[in-house]
Amino acid sequence: MEVVDVRPLLAPLISFACAGLVFAMGRSVFWRRFWSLTAAAVKLLVVLSMLPGTLQGTVFVFDVVEFTPGVGIAFRADAYGMFFSLVSSTLWVLTTIYAIGYMQGDKDRVRFFGFFALCVSTTVGIAFAENLLTFFLFYETLTICTYPLVVHAETPQALRAGRIYLTYTLIGGGLALIGSVMTLNATGSLTLGQTGILSADLGTFTLVTIFVTLVVGFGVKAAIMPLHGWLPIAMVAPTPVSALLHAVAVVKVGAFGVTRVIYNVFGAELLQTLGYASYLGALAAFTILAASVMAIMQDQLKRRLAYSTVSQLSYILLAASLLTPLAALAATVHIANQAFAKIAMFFVVGAIGRVTGKTRVGELAGIGAVMPWTMAAFTIAALSFVGLPLFAGFATKWYLSLGALQADAWWFVVVMLVSSVLNAAYWFPIIHLAYFKTAETAAAGDDRAARDPAAEPRSLRREAPLTLLVPILICAAYVILLGTTAEVVGMPTSLAEVAVWQSFGLEAPAP
């Protein structure tokens, strides 16, 4: 059931208004923080207010303007868009708190928080986009708004990273535009409110071209290999920006766009006939494994996290490409599972850098004794990515493996198992260094001489400030919550189930 409601438009407008207020009044520390935190909280409440109806199968729609028949700016809050917007809205609150503490004393904080709000505005606009035109407009605005954040430090490395980021993402946007125009020409519609608007009688050339241009166009931001080159380089940005790129906005928007193409432009039934999704699945599987190998080779913490993101985002694409309900459920829940675990890790890395100045894996010996609560959160996130039970990542791999068996693609279960081993290979050494070594024994390379890190003098403990630590611990708690309540009615998986049923054109399950 569709209901006309202004809230899908109001949600992105709140963040947009926040950006304007920050730019206008941001010289005052009080007002900059007030408007950033107030807008984050109000926007989350607006999104949450639609949740009860969404769980009942209601879709909230609002048309702004129609330029020509079938072409206009319109918003549609279905279950999948709601799931994505809830994740981004929740994490905006936490990232804002973290950024207030992290950016203290930094230059150009007005610019930072202003563009930060614009990025979140465009992200929610993408989540609620009713058609490819609205999606594209917000998609390209996100690229422009993220650029000042990537180059925030204004160093030669940051400016170079910004140029590379723009080159990749603008080319991707151009391809997405070509695919959208071809879709409009072929169907007379750009809507994302159906379970597929293309048909097999359009011909192989048209269908292949639309599929490639749209998937590659959105796949650039999803960092699927070999389109991932911009992401590790963009790690020169401040940690809150890195967290924004990896968990709240850019890469997740790319994956969200690809899944919209699969389920709303083509539709699962048509893609099962055409077989195109199997090629995307193979590329996603390659990305999962290859990026994990690359992560093992990185000593710089943020680059290791960057390659981990490249790997983890492809779980969404692999799951979506299987075209089965259980795999689609995995693709949806992983939006939240990856987001909370990865943002916790970036918050931890930023806190360690702020407190100790350490930025490399080899420097983390004994850090578990120095910052015990911070490293506990990192450990929880790492166990989630490995896929251990009771943590969020296990739910993703469980549903994805069941979906692969449902699609008679057992080799993707093998990919999940190998991926878990590789995740352990690049996360567990950090945990071992943090808890079972000291700086002296790490330098000497003598494991036998390592003393109990808990015996470190309390005077050496320098836990992160509360503005950094509280968001870290909340994200870690979410990782456990998402892993232990997957089957509880009313928890995020319930919303994901409604999204899956809508994607396959079925009735929403009874509450």
pLDDT per residue as tens digits for the range 461-507 = 688 888 899 999 999 999 999 888 766 655 678 888 898 888 887 76
Task: With cut-offs at 50, 70 and 90, classify the pLDDT of residue 452.
Answer: very low
Could you tell me the two tokens for 346?
Answer: 């970036």
Q: What percent of the chain has pLDDT over 90?
A: 43
Task: With cut-offs at 50, 70 and 90, classify the pLDDT of residue 447.
Answer: very low
SS3 state of residue 508: coil
**pLDDT reported for residue 406:** 87
Strand order in the sheet with 59-68: 2-4, 59-68, 71-77
From residue 193, how far is each of 28, 50, 57, 131, 293 by CA, in Å? 43, 17, 13, 7, 39
Question: Which segments of 202-275 does DSSP mark as H helices, in order?
Answer: 204-222, 230-233, 239-243, 250-260, 268-274
Distance between the two ends of the chain, CA-based, in angstroms? Answer: 15
Q: What is the mean pLDDT of the chain?
A: 87
Residue predicted with more confidence, 289 or 238: 289
Whether cis (ω within 30° of 0) applies to the bond prior to 509 is no
CA 306, 308, 311, 314 torsion: positive or negative?
Answer: negative
CA 313, 317, 322: angle at the middle one, nearest 5? 145
The H or E element spanning position 74 is strand 71-77
How many residues would you count in the chain? 511
CA 325, 172, 251, 47 torsion: positive or negative?
Answer: negative
| 482/488 Cα distance (integer angstroms) | 10
pTM, entire model = 0.90
| Amino acid at site 109 | R
| Amino acid at site 259 | T
From residue 106, how far is each of 96, 102, 113, 238, 337 by CA, in Å? 15, 9, 12, 10, 31
pLDDT per residue as tens digits for the range 180-231 = 999 999 998 999 988 889 988 888 999 999 999 999 999 999 889 898 888 8
| 240/466 Cα distance (integer angstroms) | 16
**pLDDT reported for residue 455:** 43
pLDDT per residue as tens digits for the range 34-67 = 888 888 899 999 999 999 999 888 999 999 998 8
β pairing state of 2-4 and 59-68: parallel
What dihedral angle (degrees, nearest 10) is formed by the CA atoms of 262, 258, 394, 344?
-160
What b/e sequence results for 370-381 when a residue is b if at least 16 CB atoms lie within 10 Å of its CB, and e otherwise? bbbebbbbbbbb
**pLDDT reported for residue 449:** 37
| 195/399 Cα distance (integer angstroms) | 22
User: Quick check: 227 and 284 in contact, CB under 8 A?
Assistant: no
| 467/96 Cα distance (integer angstroms) | 10
445: left (phi over 0), alpha (psi -120 to 50) or beta: left
Judge whether residue 411 has pLDDT over 50.
yes
**pLDDT reported for residue 419:** 92
Q: Map tokens 């008679």 to a residue.
A: 408
What b/e sequence results for 211-246 when a residue is b if at least 16 CB atoms lie within 10 Å of its CB, and e otherwise? bbbbbbbbbbbbbbbebbbbbbbbbbbbbbbbbbbb
* Beta bridge partner(s), residue 191: 131
Residue predicted with more confidence, 20 or 511: 20
155 backbone dihedrals φ, ψ, rounded to 5°: -85, 165
* Beta bridge partner(s), residue 66: 72
Rounded average pLDDT over 131-142: 93
Judge whether residue 511 has pLDDT over 60.
no
Alpha carbon of residue 163 to chain centroid? 22
